[in-house]
Structure 1
Amino acid sequence: HPCFFLCQRSPIIKMLNLFELFGFILLVIETLTGMVGNGFIAIVNCIDWFRSRKLSPADMILSCLSLFRFAFHAVLMQAAIFNLFFMDSFLMLKIKIAYDSLWLFLNTASLWFAAWLSVLYCVKIANFSHPLFLQMKRRFPGLVPWLLLGTGVFSAITTTVALTGNNIFSKCNPFESYLNNNNDSGINTSNSCEFLILLYVVPDFFPFAIFLFSSILLLTSLWRHKNLLQNSVRDVSIEVHLNAIKALASFSILYVSNIFVEILSIVLFRMGINDIGVHFIFLNVMAAYSSGHALILIFMSPKLKQESVRILTR
């Protein structure tokens, strides 16, 4: 994954070219935006929890999502700085497992939390008469705490399995050969290597499928309801629904883009393509996904928007 590619920069201090410097500066801006946005969401929800001693299911998911994304941005930024400027080969080899573990765990959990948030919005807002959907509408909010706990356990297990497989199938890993000045740019092709790639891809596929299905249902319901309101000439309600559709569609594009570049980065890793400029593009897309969704959540939530305006106008 992209964090791994950054770990392949061996000079202790290296001057970046113009493209790499631009990508790094953009990554810093996106990371700081994401940390501020997700940190703000987490702080607001924690203050509400401290005052009322309870959190709604949506606030539970948002709190976990924002905390994990805040940590994800911190790991991303540290990996970029250390590996681009201050790391030698020996130190990179020592911290590679730590960064891989944190990256995989935080990213997998964040994708699941975003998927559960989409499902929650779907069962709360969408209007369908199917018995299975009505049953989900009644039961899903009560399942949220258990789903969050299960997501953390599942993410830890998949991270452990993926990293264990990476150590077992070490011949698929060009990292050690790179450090040993191996000039072979290709990656060994075998069934075990294909299995290792699945360990990285499959855990992200399930939350993506859940998110995509719930988002399509919600967008369909909102669009249908918007058309009904349009026929009754209720302009205010139509505007609200259009804003909700735009926000959901924007986040869907960000989510799909994030999944796409993750899979593409693994494919390039499998092919032995280690161009740092390409992977800076991937890192910027991932950072933009997390940062952009945080901003969407803030502007679409009346509570978060009110708090942000109150802080900015002080």
Structure 2
Amino acid sequence: MSTLFELFGFILLVIETLIGMMGNGFIAIVNFIDWQRSRKLSPADMILSCLSFCRFAFHAFAIQNAIFLLFFIDTFLKNVHIAYTASWLFVNTANLWFATWLSVLYCVKIATFSHPLFLQMKQRFPGLVPWLLLGTVAFSAIITTIKVIMTIRLMSECKRIESLLSNNTDSGMKTFNFCKYSTLLFVVPEFFPFLIFLFSSILLLTSLWRHKNLLQNSARDVSTEVHLNAIKALASFSILYISSFFGDILQLYFSWMGMSGIGMNIWFTDVTAAYSSAHAIILIFLNPKLKQESVKMLHQLKCACMC
């Protein structure tokens, strides 16, 4: 029987899923139509397309997982746990990297620094985007395969930490060491995109803030307002990304400690789903092409309802 805590988390996840799937689906469809017309996509649109498609899949897996956990827990544990884990790990890893490449692209396109290495990256990074996206898919598949293999072994060999600590035999200590260091394998790969994202975001925020102050001193209010909006959007993106990242780390930690129940899993999923949904809305309202298409679509829906 599901508790009120679990059901409330599930209802929140349903709302976030609807918003996230509509927002990310809209971004993917707009970019696909644009590609059909021109047969080419800008580097930013390439990353956005991959990111939105991946997030759409994430929301589908998240709501499916919540339904299984709440209503079909026995079937989930027996039949689809490993398949779901593999899909979740792949989508989550790819999401982190795609969001990171988007942040790096914004940084090299918008930030103004005179360092030779930054200038070289500014020139070459857009051309590397297709290869980076392919590399992200390949890397995510490899990491997912390794993690799934380790998960199967962890499920078959590892016990709870309390029992392992009380076991003074050699086999018990070996099992404990295996569990301890295997957990690092789940965490370490996630830190690489996180650190790159953090570094590029700090650079971009620093550049935007410095440029805003220069414009403010020149009394150019319109440009200052534009830069201030960009800073707010980037800061929101960064806060959402960091919250989602640490939510994943905490979920893994509680699971490792044997403290992760169904309700806690659903609420941690809510945190990640909120990041995906909110960022999709931010992207739609700040991207001129996406904003124009959304206004056009809303106008058509309004006309259809009036008719």
Same fold (TM > 0.5): yes
Do the aligned partners of 1:166 and 1:173 also contact (CA within 8 Å) in 2?
Answer: no
In the superposition, relative to structure 1, how do residues 46 and 173 fare at CA in structure 2: closer, same or farther (>3 Å)? farther
The alpha carbon displacement at 1:17 in A equals 2.3
2:4 and 2:155 mapped to 1: Cα distance?
Answer: 34
In the superposition, relative to structure 1, how do residues 313 and 122 fare at CA in structure 2: closer, same or farther (>3 Å)? same
Do the aligned partners of 1:186 and 1:272 also contact (CA within 8 Å) in 2?
Answer: no
1:41 and 1:84 mapped to 2: Cα distance?
Answer: 31
Query: Match of 2:249, SS?
Result: helix
Determine the structure 2 residue equivalent to 1:202. Answer: 188
The alpha carbon displacement at 1:169 in A equals 3.5
1:50 and 1:185 mapped to 2: Cα distance?
Answer: 54
In the superposition, relative to structure 1, how do residues 299 and 186 fare at CA in structure 2: closer, same or farther (>3 Å)? farther
Q: Is the helix fraction higher in 1 or 2? A: 2
Cα deviations by residue, 1:57-78 (Å, 9 ceiling, x for unpaired):
0000000000011011101111
Runs of 4+ in 1 over 3 A off after TM superposition: 169-174, 184-189
Q: How many residues align?
A: 290
Amino acid at match of 1:142: G
Query: Match of 1:313, SS?
Result: helix
In the superposition, relative to structure 1, how do residues 172 and 289 fare at CA in structure 2: closer, same or farther (>3 Å)? farther
Question: Within 5 Å, which residues of 2 pair with 1:144-293?
Answer: 144-171=129-156, 186=162, 188=164, 190-293=176-279
Query: Match of 2:113, SS?
Result: coil
In the superposition, relative to structure 1, how do residues 287 and 188 fare at CA in structure 2: closer, same or farther (>3 Å)? farther
Query: Match of 1:199, SS?
Result: helix
1:82 and 1:269 mapped to 2: Cα distance?
Answer: 18
Determine the structure 1 residue equivalent to 2:20. Answer: 34
The alpha carbon displacement at 1:173 in A equals 5.1
Query: Match of 1:306, SS?
Result: helix
Do the aligned partners of 2:147 and 2:185 also contact (CA within 8 Å) in 1?
Answer: yes
1:97 and 1:199 mapped to 2: Cα distance?
Answer: 17
Amino acid at match of 2:101: W
Cα deviations by residue, 1:4-63 (Å, 9 ceiling, x for unpaired):
xxxxxxxxxx3x222222111000000111110000000000000000000000000000
2:157 and 2:51 mapped to 1: Cα distance?
Answer: 32
Do the aligned partners of 1:34 and 1:73 also contact (CA within 8 Å) in 2?
Answer: yes
Larger displacement relative to structure 2 (134-143 or 189-198): 189-198
1:55 and 1:117 mapped to 2: Cα distance?
Answer: 14
RMSD: 1.5
Say if 2:119 is the partner of 1:134.
Answer: yes
In the superposition, relative to structure 1, how do residues 172 and 132 fare at CA in structure 2: closer, same or farther (>3 Å)? farther
Do the aligned partners of 2:44 and 2:105 also contact (CA within 8 Å) in 1?
Answer: yes
Percentage identity across paired residues of the two chains: 68
Do the aligned partners of 1:122 and 1:214 also contact (CA within 8 Å) in 2?
Answer: yes
1:49 and 1:143 mapped to 2: Cα distance?
Answer: 19
In the superposition, relative to structure 1, how do residues 301 and 172 fare at CA in structure 2: closer, same or farther (>3 Å)? farther
Do the aligned partners of 1:187 and 1:270 also contact (CA within 8 Å) in 2?
Answer: no
Determine the structure 2 residue equivalent to 1:109. Answer: 94
1:97 and 1:280 mapped to 2: Cα distance?
Answer: 18
Amino acid at match of 1:125: I
1:191 and 1:185 mapped to 2: Cα distance?
Answer: 11
Q: 2:103 aligned to 115, 118, 126, which one?
A: 118
The alpha carbon displacement at 1:304 in A equals 0.4
Do the aligned partners of 1:60 and 1:145 also contact (CA within 8 Å) in 2?
Answer: yes
2:123 and 2:163 mapped to 1: Cα distance?
Answer: 50
Amino acid at match of 2:261: D
Gaps of 5+ in 1: 1-13, 175-183
The alpha carbon displacement at 1:241 in A equals 0.4
Amino acid at match of 1:279: N
Amino acid at match of 2:230: A
Query: Match of 2:278, SS?
Result: helix
Gaps of 5+ in 2: 166-175, 301-307
The alpha carbon displacement at 1:266 in A equals 1.1
In the superposition, relative to structure 1, how do residues 88 and 51 fare at CA in structure 2: closer, same or farther (>3 Å)? same
